């Protein structure tokens, strides 16, 4: 294991000595000339909106009434997080060649990820501490605060959800980022990507078996089974599979045959999701949760091949850009809006209209606040990360070990 970890760190040195021509060739082969994939932004935006709908419906106690036609869809909006995980892994595989073209690419990767996530999360941590003190007269122990600031709370049996609302996903994401270079350098084909899916499923079964031998309370055991990063690793691996399916085909994704394939995959993804909502699918993988990985893998590939304008457009792409802010801000907005929801449901004649009115108002407020935090926190944080890398780490070290084969 120590040799493997040393291999990851040593990659910076090997890449630092890679010729400029070699780096250019790597970039040419791995990444399309246009760079950014707009459908990924759309998927992030749709995922965030779906999670907002879910929390709007379930956070009030009792939950908001939903019309029959939307009930199952609204109450499974938490699967938007699964879509985030699939898109996240796909995006990391897609953009990693940009890091490889730089000196110390692994360090570049970690700095970029930290400054992309940490600034806004730290602001939300502080806001949460203030909110909980004023609204709930509650305080959080120093250990809990430190675990959140260090992004290690997913490793703690009683703190995996984090005290920041909905932050459990951040704990999972940051641990996945920590091991991603190790995964990336060992995944050269779709066969390796599928192997990660299978391997992570087996690993999770081993972890669950091991939990039975640990002195855990029932609450701790339940929390680990629900929130542990090990449970969600197979979903991330689905994003890797999607990447290798699409690798080399980004530029020709809009050809007529590709579009027809895309439409088919979008319909297939929608059908599997409908089957999942209606309990038509067998439990083949130990948890029907993992069908969500297949659903969103199909939708990701399908939308790449068939970027339907009514779905992939400026509005949804912009929602994707601010999706991180939308995700972290919306729980507090939803909580504060509960009295408003009650009044709307009291005075609006139909359940459908009441739900849609609540959703529209909630989205308007959340998006307005997300615009502010994106411009004033996220963007400066990204720029700060780039500055830190250029200022102190862009020059390769004089002597570094060669990457082990």
Q: How confident is the model at residue 402 (pLDDT cuts 50, 70, 90)?
A: very low
Measured CA to CA, the distance from residue 93 to residue 26 in angstroms comes to 14
Q: Count other C-beta atoms under 10 Å from residue 219's C-beta.
A: 10
pLDDT at residue number 251: 63
- Contact by Cβ (8 Å): 320, 264: no
Burial of 220 (0-12, 13-18, 19+ CB in 10 A): middle
Q: How would DSSP label each residue in 39-68?
A: HHHHHHHHHHHHHHHHHHHHSSSSPPP--H
State the average pLDDT for the chain: 89
Distance CA 287, CA 295 (A): 14
Over residues 38-61, mean pLDDT: 97
Two tokens, residue 252: 């020709």
pLDDT band at residue 145 under the 50/70/90 scheme? very high
- The more confident residue out of 19 and 166 is 166
pTM value > 0.95: no
Q: Does residue 44 or residue 30 have the better pLDDT?
A: 44
Instruction: Enter the tokens of residue 159.
Output: 């703190």
Question: Using CA atoms, how far apart are residues 405 and 401, in angstroms rounded to an integer?
Answer: 12
Choose between 253 and 155: higher pLDDT. 155
User: 349-391, pLDDT tens digit by residue?
Assistant: 999 999 999 999 999 999 999 999 999 999 999 999 999 999 8
Evaluate if residue 113 carries a pLDDT over 90. Answer: yes
Tell me what pLDDT residue 249 has: 74
> What is the 3-state composition of the chain as percent helix, strand, coil, each rounded to the nearest 5?
75, 0, 25
Three-state DSSP at 214 gives: coil
Of 179, 214, 215, 216, residue with least CA distance to 199: 179
Question: How many other CB atoms sit within 10 Å of the CB of residue 213?
Answer: 7
Tell me what the mean pLDDT of segment 322-326 comes to: 98
Q: Model confidence at 394, in pLDDT bands (50, 70, 90)?
A: confident
Greater pLDDT, 26 or 68: 68
Tell me the DSSP string of 94-147: HHHHHHHTSSSHHHHHHHHHHHHHHHHHHHHHHHHHHHHHHHS-----HHHHHH
Please say if the pLDDT value at position 64 is more than 80.
yes
pLDDT for the residue numbered 399: 38
Average pLDDT on 58-85 reads 97
């Amino acid at each position: 294991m120590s040799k493997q970890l040393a291999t990851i760190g040593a990659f910076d040195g090997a890449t630092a000595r890679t010729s400029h021509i070699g780096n250019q060739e790597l970039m040419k082969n791995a990444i399309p000339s246009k760079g950014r994939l707009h459908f990924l932004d759309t998927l992030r935006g749709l995922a965030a909106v779906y999670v907002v709908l879910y929390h709007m419906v379930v956070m009030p106690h009792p939950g908001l009434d939903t019309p029959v036609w939307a009930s199952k869809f609204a109450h499974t909006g938490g699967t938007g997080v699964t879509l985030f995980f699939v898109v996240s892994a796909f995006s990391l595989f897609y953009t990693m060649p940009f890091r490889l073209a730089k000196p110390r690419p692994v360090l570049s990767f970690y700095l970029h990820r930290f400054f992309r996530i940490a600034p806004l999360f730290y602001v939300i941590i502080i806001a949460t501490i203030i909110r909980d003190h004023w609204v709930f007269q509650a305080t959080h122990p120093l250990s809990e605060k430190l675990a959140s600031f260090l992004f290690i709370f997913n490793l703690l049996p009683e703190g995996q959800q984090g005290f920041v609302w909905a932050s459990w996903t951040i704990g999972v994401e940051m641990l996945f980022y920590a091991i991603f270079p190790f995964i990336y350098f060992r995944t050269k084909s779709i066969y390796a990507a599928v192997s990660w899916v299978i391997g992570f499923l087996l690993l999770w079964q081993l972890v669950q078996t091991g939990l039975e031998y640990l002195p855990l309370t029932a609450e701790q055991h339940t929390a680990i089974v629900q929130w542990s990063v090990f449970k969600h690793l197979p979903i991330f691996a689905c994003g890797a599979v999607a990447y290798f399916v699409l690798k080399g085909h980004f530029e020709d994704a809009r050809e007529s045959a590709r579009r027809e394939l895309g439409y088919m995959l979008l319909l297939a993804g929608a059908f599997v999701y409908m089957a999942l909502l209606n309990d038509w699918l067998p439990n083949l993988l130990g948890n029907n949760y993992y069908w969500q990985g297949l659903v969103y893998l199909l939708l990701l590939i399908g939308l790449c091949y068939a970027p339907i304008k009514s779905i992939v457009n400026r509005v949804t792409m912009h929602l994707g850009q601010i999706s991180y802010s939308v995700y972290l801000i919306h729980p507090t907005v939803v909580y504060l809006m509960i009295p408003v929801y009650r009044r709307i449901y009291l005075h609006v004649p139909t359940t459908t209209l009441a739900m849609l009115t609540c959703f529209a108002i909630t989205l308007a407020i959340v998006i307005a606040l997300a615009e502010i935090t994106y411009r004033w926190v996220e963007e400066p944080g990204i720029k700060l990360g780039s500055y830190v890398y250029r200022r102190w780490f862009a020059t390769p070290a004089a002597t570094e070990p060669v990457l082990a084969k």
